Structure 1
Amino acid sequence: MKKRERKTLFTIYQGVDEAAFELIALATTSQEAWKILKTYDGVDKVKKIRLQALRAQFEVLQQEASETISDYFSQVIFIVHQMRRNGEELKDVRVIEKILRSLDSKFDFIVVAIEESKDLEVMAVEEYMGSLQAYEQRILKKSEGRTLEQALQTKLSSQQNESSRGGPQRGRASTWRGRGGRTSNSN
């Protein structure tokens, strides 16, 4: 019986956040821990205040230009789960609409395609995330190709400049042409 009690208490410990854990850390039985948690989470006023703060966070969420789709989705889903845990009835379609509205402008094309071609009420949030991640990978692949192409072009143009000047200018007497078009050697 003691073993079962310890397992139950351990399971409760594993299922709470740090703030709740601090409250129940001194509980010696699972019933005592559960009673503390009910008191902690059961206060309607606290839940309402917490829910208002979460709603505000949800509304102002905006993807940063440097943020990946998976990072942004994780942030949104984390807030959505907290809202639901505090009693908010938040439908997936509202979450999807929020995500599509708040994506960075580089996703405008895919957002329009998704809104036109797919029924937002039928698909799961994860399916949208998959579509957006595939698009993001295509964008990254194209930009990597452009970066490599630009680097090679720069190297090629610098090599062409060196060969047209007769190679690198190091170690030679410097010659310069002034405004008058004359050439003079430095002493």
Structure 2
Amino acid sequence: MASNTFSLSYPILKRDNYQSWSIKMKSHLKALNLWEVIESDYEPNPLPENPTLIQIKKYDEDRAKTPKALSCIHSAVSEEIFSFIMTCESPKKAWEMLKQEFEGNEQTKLMQVLNFKREFEMQRMKKSETIKEYVGKLMSIVNQIRLLGESFPDQRVIDKILVSVLEIYESKISSLEDSKDLSKISLGELVNALSAVDQRRSMRGRI
């Protein structure tokens, strides 16, 4: 008989992935209809007098949400990090404690953003990289900045690419400048155009 349930693999929180973990875990809890107990320490409404079987079943299901959500969080952290929340009796408290420990206050987040921006500006393309590998490295940093709540437009990534890629891409960039307004080109369009250079190099056996 077909089952109506489905399983989701837990993202595991480590010391260096809180931002991405929190997004994945929030989606996971929402999919299981458990996020409300994280937001509000949800408690079900008491049963009325002479409840029906349906009302009793619904009440029991709602009561089970809190321990289920806490169990999900316990299963989604490493053994080292579990020690931070092992005494928390509610999923809301456990979530807030993890957020405080790994996200920090506004000053901490600002310093993280500044460090990522500095790392972004220092990036230069290596001879062994393709344009997609280089852009992937840039976007990994950019996404960390965005996860911290800071706006970082694609145009800054485009400008960075144009001034930091290897010399072999210069002729292609010049060609684009002649045919397009580079202030309006999309990031995907630029990457696809420069990837043509990598494709030619690959065909010639140079990479």
TM-score grouping bracket, smaller chain normalisation: 0.5 to 0.7
Decide which moves more: 121-130 or 74-83: 121-130
Q: Which amino acid aligns with 2:195?
A: Q
Q: Which amino acid aligns with 1:71?
A: E
Find the counterpart in structure 2 of residue 91 from structure 1: 153
Q: Which amino acid aligns with 1:141?
A: M
CA contact under 8 A between 1:9 and 1:29: conserved in structure 2?
no
Q: 1:9 to 1:65 in 2, by over 3 A?
A: farther
Superposed CA RMSD in Å reads 3.3
Encode CA deviations 1:124-147: one digit per residue, 9 max, x unaligned.
3222222221221012213x2x89
User: What CA distance in whole angstroms lies between the structure 2 residues aligned with 1:130 and 1:8?
Assistant: 45
User: What CA distance in whole angstroms lies between the structure 2 residues aligned with 1:98 and 1:72?
Assistant: 11
Encode CA deviations 1:75-127: one digit per residue, 9 max, x unaligned.
10000011122233211111111012111111111122223333344443222
Find the counterpart in structure 1 of residue 100 from structure 2: 39
Q: 1:82 to 1:11 in 2, by over 3 A?
A: same
The aligned runs of 1:68-87 (5 Å cut-off) are 68-87=130-149
Encode CA deviations 1:136-177: one digit per residue, 9 max, x unaligned.
1012213x2x89xxxxxxxxxxxxxxxxxxxxxxxxxxxxxx
The aligned runs of 1:44-83 (5 Å cut-off) are 44-83=106-145
Cα deviation for residue 7 of structure 1 reads: 5.6
Aligned-partner SS, 2:190: helix
- Structure with the greater alpha carbon radius of gyration: 1
User: What CA distance in whole angstroms lies between the structure 1 residues aligned with 2:184 and 2:73?
Assistant: 35
Cα deviation for residue 3 of structure 1 reads: 5.3
Q: 1:101 to 1:127 in 2, by over 3 A?
A: same
Q: Which amino acid aligns with 2:189?
A: E
Long gaps (5+) in structure 1: 148-187
Q: Which has the higher contact order (CA 8 A, sep 6+)?
A: 2
Find the counterpart in structure 1 of residue 164 from structure 2: 102
User: What CA distance in whole angstroms lies between the structure 2 residues aligned with 1:129 and 1:11?
Assistant: 39
Normalised to the residue count of structure 2, the TM-score between the two structures is 0.56
Cα deviation for residue 62 of structure 1 reads: 0.4
Identity of aligned residues (%): 28
Q: 1:29 to 1:110 in 2, by over 3 A?
A: farther
Find the counterpart in structure 1 of residue 91 from structure 2: 30
Q: 1:69 to 1:43 in 2, by over 3 A?
A: same
